[in-house]
A = this chain, B = another copy of it.
């Protein structure tokens, strides 16, 4: 029964690899099978369709994303500058370690099969809510309404998603990568400084 698990992994890895210059929706079961080294029909022993394969990949991708979040939290510290610098560093590092997963999510988020898109949207929304509760704990946001917290964390998540997409588009360790990291840090600072200035009751 451990052979099955090995093949399943190989299928997931092959799909992730082949998606790099394609899309789940343009990915054929036969390509995957050939890459893995099995006969096409053997695919069905593991997934009933490419779409189901995609859902498994989404789940897997967000497991590593959660690992990243834990890593960020572990380095949390009330000093904002360090918190921001550390978070961005962790982000870039994790993206590099899981390039294929992040690229997969970025691609399938809007281009994937509906079920896959929905799964990704749900996961990101979940992440956003978690961030909102984190934000509620930092000093200076006491007077914020729940709605404004949601709106701010949406803004932050959007900026970070864009950062991930930018990182994926440049060479590791390149100057371009450093510019992106610097941009991300500055943006987070702008947001935090703006946030500390914000007054929920004043925003209609």
A107-B111, A169-B121 are contacts. A193–B198 as well, Cβ < 8 Å?
yes
- The reply on A110 being an interface residue by CB < 8 A is yes
- The reply on A162 being an interface residue by CB < 8 A is yes
Contact B195 A190 (CB under 8 A): yes
- The reply on A139 being an interface residue by CB < 8 A is no
A26-B26, A159-B158, A162-B158 are contacts. A151–B187 as well, Cβ < 8 Å?
yes
With a cutoff of 8 Å between Cβ atoms, the chain B residues found around residue A108 in the complex are 111
Kindly supply a per-residue 1/0 record for chain A positions 106-118, scoring 1 wherever the CB is within 8 Å of any chain B CB and 0 otherwise.
Answer: 1111110010000
Copies of this chain in the oligomer: 2
The complex places the Cα of A21 from the Cα of B195 at a distance, in Å, of: 39
Kindly supply a per-residue 1/0 record for chain A positions 17-47, scoring 1 wherever the CB is within 8 Å of any chain B CB and 0 otherwise.
Answer: 0000111011000000000000000000000
- The reply on A189 being an interface residue by CB < 8 A is yes
Contact B190 A152 (CB under 8 A): yes
The complex places the Cα of A154 from the Cα of B188 at a distance, in Å, of: 12
The complex places the Cα of A38 from the Cα of B92 at a distance, in Å, of: 49
- The reply on A133 being an interface residue by CB < 8 A is no
Query: Which of B21, B25, B111, B190 touches A151 (beta carbons < 8 Å)?
Result: B190
The complex places the Cα of A100 from the Cα of B120 at a distance, in Å, of: 22
Contact A194 B190 (CB under 8 A): yes
Among residues 159 to 187 in chain A, which have CB atoms less than 8 Å away from a CB atom of chain B?
Answer: 159, 161-162, 165, 169, 183, 186-187
